[in-house]
Each structure stands twice: as structure tokens, then as C-alpha cells.
Amino acid sequence: MSSREVLGQAARLASSGLLLQVLFRVITFVLNAFILRFLSKEIVGVVNVRLALLYSTTVFLAREAFRRACLSGGTQRDWSQTFNLLWLTVPLGVFWSLFLGWVWLQLLEVPDPNVVPHYGTGVVVFGLSAVVELLGEPLWVLAQAHMFVRLKVIAESLSVILKSILTALLVLWLPHWGLYIFSLAQLFFTAVLVFCYVIYFTKLLGSPESSKRQVLPVSRMTDLLPSITRSRAFVNWEEAKLTWSFFKQSFLKQILTEGERYVMTFLNVLNFGDQGVYDTVNNLGSLVARLIFQPIEESFYIFFAKVLEREKDATLQKQEDVAVAAAVLESLLKLALLTGLTITVFGFAYSQLALDIYGGAMLSSGSGPVLLRAYCLYVLLLAINGVTECFTFAAMSKEEVDRYNFTMLALSSSFLGLSYILTHWCGSVGFILANCFNMGIRITQSLRFIHRYYRKSPYRPLAGLHLSPVVLGTIALSGGVTAISEVFLCCEWGWPARLAHIALGALCLGVTLRMVFLRETKLIHFLRTQLAVPRLADKTT
């Protein structure tokens, strides 16, 4: 498969992932606004910080390294060895679930059962749901490696929609159940997700069309199960070594990704109510970042990993592939920079209004607007880091991954210490400032790698970080106009003034997008040709 074909598949996967994230976030956005009106902020804090951290840590530590290692390279491999390696995520998940569950129950502060009932059950069920999700890992990797776009969209959409419906019904009918509500919904979500993948591959492998076309490296579902033969090793040891390298990196990356939750959970710098407010603002602030950047990062990591060879620099690889990768990276960097700047500039002027509409005075008063404004700045760094790291991790050799682990160790230590200090100094906004500091260092490391990688080649993908002066001027002018508008039209002047503030912001945003369309023609061409939204009925194989 040529690099152009891989690019097309990765772009379609990113576009479908974008649609998927839009659906997820809209549903979650509405659901959280609904829950805030029925349950206490303490329950929201325990679920969205304490229990969500247990689940995400278990799943991340058990599977992230396996995913990155097994998705590297092409589809031509001994898949039985890859499946054997992937099944190791299940016992690893059981270990992390039991160990972390013990920590959550025995070492951490237990919430008041009168305020947050059924905490112990919540810990057990969230840990169990993580193990259930890991049962579908071989199917997920097989689908991603062959870029089955429709499967990912349907499975995850259906799971999220059914989970949200169940949560809303239980909150409305049985609010006194407390954490029982979210525990049942989480377990239901993972069960439906795995069941969708099992049903899909069962039907696909049982169809005559699949056997004729030989789409997959397996012919029946039992081929996906662990197998032992004397003719070959149980696993591919190169994949296993790469997995271990990524595991050490993933452990540190998880601390950076969820660092503020770890500090809140283990150091008790905020009470459960403040954790609920912070998490709500954090989710609202990251809404657009997750909608756009996460599917792009996941999909184009696969593209770069398939097109580039890890052990060779740019001059020793097929130059067509290197050129395509450079062009894609340049366009992605420019897209991330423009999107991040737009969110930062407009987010400053509309943070308080957004929080007031979403959660009322509980969010729009106090530290909420300051938190959201700080998060808008963080989104800019988050956007650039997502693109640079997806290339860096796909192109690094095993030795470079190991060296990068030492940098991640230093970042993890500094982040935890800095978070603790800044939180005591300036409250919950200290978490975001610490994230900005560490994200800046991670971006610097990735930019250095990209510069070295293309240094001896004629390609300069980092040019994507240079914007047209006219576009930059338009963004700055829009920021000034909307800031003045906020002072005179928002937010205590009533809805007529608020609507005028919104209309003025929409006008400034339209002018900004128009200037981007006129001046950044190379980026517009990339978006038109590669990130066009695919028809959901199409299946990429």
C-alpha cells in the first residue's frame, strides 16, 4: 500500500473520529448539565475525578503500550504472535484493577457515605469495567490496523448513547442510588462496546465474501484466541521489547495526562465539591480540543507509523514517503496552531458567559471563569503537542523512545511538585498553569526531534508554525474587540446585551475564518482533499 493510500485511510479515520467525538462530547455536555441539576457537586467530583481516574489509569497502564507497539509497521506480520501479546493486557488489567482498587479503598480518603453513598461498590465496578473493556483489545487493534472506520463509529457511538440514556434515566428516577447509577452505566458501556466488536467480526469472518477477498489475517474467531505452537515463539520479541519501552513511557505520560487528578486524589488539595467544579470546567474547556485534536492525533499516528521506518532517518527512507509525511505534518501543525489560537482568543471573552449558561451561578461565580480562561491558553499548547508527539512517537527508534523516557520522568516529577506548589499559591488554576509549563517542555522536545529528523532533507515541516501576518493581525484584533464587548455587554446586563455580545463574537469569528481561507491556501487545500468527511456507509479495509 502506497503512502498516499495510507494517508487517505488515515484522513478518513480522522474525519470519522471527529464525527464520533462531536457526538460523544455533545451527549456528555448535555448529560453533565442535566446531572448538575439533580445531584450534588460532591458526587460529580467523586465520579469524574476519583472513579474516572481509577478506570483510566487501569486501562491506560494495561493497554496503551501494547496498542502503540502493535500498531507500528504494516499489516504483514505473524498476527497470531501479535494476538498472544495483546491478550497479556487482560491479566495485566486484572493486576492493576486489584492493586489500584485496594489503594482507592484502603489508602485514600473515603467520602462521607451520607453525601456520597456506595463508594466501595463504585470502586469495585469501575475496576471490573476496565477489565471487561480489555477483553476486546485484540479485536480493536485488528480493526485499527485495517482501518475499519464504520466499526469504530458504530460501536463507540452506540455504547456512549446507551450509557447516557441509562445514566439520565437512573438520575431522574433513582437519584438516591448515588454511585450505583454511574457504576452500572460504566459497566454497561464497556460490555456493549466489546459486544459490538465481537458481533461485527463474527459476522465478517463468517461471510463468504471475507474468505474470498482475504481481507483479514484470520479466518475464524478462534484464531483471535491465544495459541501456542512449537514452530515459533509465543510472541514477537521485537514487538514485546517495543511494548516494554512504550510501557515505561506510558506510565510517565499517564502521570502528565491525569496529573492534576492524581494530585487532587492523593494530596487532598481540593475537597470533593471543588473537585467537581474543577472537573466540570476542565471538561468544558477541553471540549473543542477533544473534538478536533484527539481523533487527528490517533489517526495520523497510525499514518506516520505505517509510512516511516523507525530505525532510519529521513535521508535513508523512500523519499516519496518522507515528502508526504513532511507535507502532512506541516499542514497538521498549521491547523493545530490556528485552531488553538482561535480558541484562546475567543475563549477569554466568552468564558464567563459559557459557564453561566451551562451550569448557572455555581460555575460562573468564583474561580470558574478564571479556570476556563486559563484552560483556553492550555488548549493552544495541547493542540500543538498532540500533533508533534504523534509524529515523534511514530518515528522514534526504540533507543530514542528509551531516552525520551528519562525526559518524561523529569517532567512527571516536576509536574507533581509544581502542581502542589501552584495550587497552594493560586488555587485550582495552579493545575492548569503547571500543565502549561510541562506541555511547553514536551513541545520543545518534540520540535527538536522533528528538526533533527528532517535536517539533512530538503523538507521543512516546522514551517507550519509560521502564520500569515494578516491572519495573526485579524486574530489579535478580534481578541481586542471581543474583550471590550465583554466589559460593556456581558454578563450582568441581561439577555439582549448577551445576544449582542454573542453576535459580535460570531462576526469576528467569521472575519477570522475568511482571512484564513484567503491567506492559508495550502492548508485549505489539505483540508479539502484529505479531511473531507466520509460517508459513514463506506468501510475502509
Query: Residue 5 has what pLDDT?
Result: 63
DSSP 8-class letter at 177: G
Cα dihedral angle (278, 283, 284, 288), rounded to 10 degrees? 150
* 434 and 457 inside one domain: yes
Contact 218/224 with Cβ under 8 angstroms? Answer: yes
Residue 436, Cβ density class (10 Å: 0-12 exposed, 13-18 middle, ≥19 buried)? middle
Output 459 or 133, whichever has higher pLDDT. 133
Contact 375/288 with Cβ under 8 angstroms? Answer: no
In a domain, 135, yes or no: yes
The Cα 259–Cα 535 span in angstroms is 38
- Kindly report which listed range (112-116, 147-151, 217-221, 456-460) carries the lowest average pLDDT score: 147-151
- Could you give the number of structural domains in the chain? 3
Contact 340/472 with Cβ under 8 angstroms? Answer: no
The Cα 295–Cα 531 span in angstroms is 11
Output 214 or 525, whichever has higher pLDDT. 525
- Kindly report which listed range (174-183, 228-237, 522-531) carries the lowest average pLDDT score: 228-237
What band does 11 get if pLDDT is binned at 50, 70 and 90?
low
Cis peptide leading into 390, omega within 30 of 0? no
In a domain, 25, yes or no: no
Contact 179/123 with Cβ under 8 angstroms? Answer: no
Query: Residue 487 has what pLDDT?
Result: 85
Q: What angle is formed at CA 140 by the lines to CA 450 and CA 103, rounded to 5 degrees?
A: 85
Write the CA distances from 482 to 334, 339, 348, 381, integer angstroms: 24, 17, 9, 22
Task: Provide the H-helix boundaries in 72-106.
Answer: 79-87, 89-102
- Name, in order, each residue with C-beta under 8 angstroms of 117's C-beta and a sequence gap of 6 or more: 176, 177, 178, 179, 180
* 396 and 433 inside one domain: yes
Other Cβ atoms less than 10 A from the Cβ of 469: the count is 9
* 452 and 491 inside one domain: no
In a domain, 22, yes or no: no
**Is 124 a residue whose pLDDT tops 80?**
yes
* 186 and 326 inside one domain: no
The Cα 336–Cα 314 span in angstroms is 23
Task: Provide the H-helix boundaries in 146-286.
Answer: 149-173, 179-206, 208-213, 237-257, 259-267, 272-285
Q: What angle is formed at CA 162 by the lines to CA 157 and CA 165, rounded to 5 degrees?
A: 125
* 140 and 214 inside one domain: yes
What secondary structure, in 3-state letters, does 320-382 show? HHHHHHHHHHHHHHHHHHHHHHHHHHHHHHHHHHHHHHHHCHHHHCCCHHHHHHHHHHHHHHH
* 503 and 391 inside one domain: no
In a domain, 161, yes or no: yes
Query: Residue 218 has what pLDDT?
Result: 82
Which residue do the cell numbers 517542555 mark?
441
Instruction: From 416, 436, 462, give the residue that closes a domain.
Output: 462
* 378 and 436 inside one domain: yes
Output 14 or 363, whichever has higher pLDDT. 363
Which residue do the cell numbers 483489545 mark?
137
* 186 and 237 inside one domain: yes
Contact 273/46 with Cβ under 8 angstroms? Answer: no
In a domain, 140, yes or no: yes
Collect contacts of 289-293 with beta carbons under 8 A, ≥24 apart. 289/343, 289/379, 289/382, 289/383, 290/21, 290/25, 291/18, 291/21, 291/22, 291/25, 292/18, 292/21, 292/339, 292/383, 293/336, 293/339, 293/382, 293/383, 293/386, 293/387
In a domain, 76, yes or no: yes
Q: Look up the domain containing 402 and give its range.
A: 258-462
* 286 and 356 inside one domain: yes
Q: What is the pTM of this model?
A: 0.69
The Cα 369–Cα 413 span in angstroms is 29
Q: DSSP for 527-539, please give it.
A: HHHHSPPPPTT--
* 332 and 358 inside one domain: yes
Q: DSSP for 114-171, please give it.
A: TTS--HHHHHHHHHHHHHHHHTTHHHHHHHHHTT-HHHHHHHHHHHHHHHHHHHHHHH
* 439 and 483 inside one domain: no
- Kindly report which listed range (31-40, 323-332, 439-448) carries the lowest average pLDDT score: 31-40
Which residue, among 456, 444, 306, 279, has the nearest Cα to 375 in the 3D structure?
Answer: 279
Contact 450/396 with Cβ under 8 angstroms? Answer: no
Contact 96/61 with Cβ under 8 angstroms? Answer: yes
Contact 153/20 with Cβ under 8 angstroms? Answer: yes
In a domain, 537, yes or no: no
Output 210 or 374, whichever has higher pLDDT. 374
Query: Residue 198 has what pLDDT?
Result: 94
The Cα 337–Cα 331 span in angstroms is 10
In a domain, 23, yes or no: no
DSSP 8-class letter at 73: S
Indicate the average pLDDT of the chain: 83
Instruction: From 462, 478, 511, give the residue that closes a domain.
Output: 462
* 389 and 521 inside one domain: no
The pLDDT of 175-195, averaged and rounded, is: 94
Instruction: From 444, 462, 480, give the residue that closes a domain.
Output: 462
What is the per-residue pLDDT across 325-370, written as a single tens digit (0 to 9) for each? 899 999 999 999 999 999 999 999 998 888 888 777 667 777 778 8
Write the CA distances from 540 to 9, 24, 140, 462, 515, integer angstroms: 7, 22, 15, 31, 35
Query: Residue 42 has what pLDDT?
Result: 83
Query: Residue 539 has what pLDDT?
Result: 39
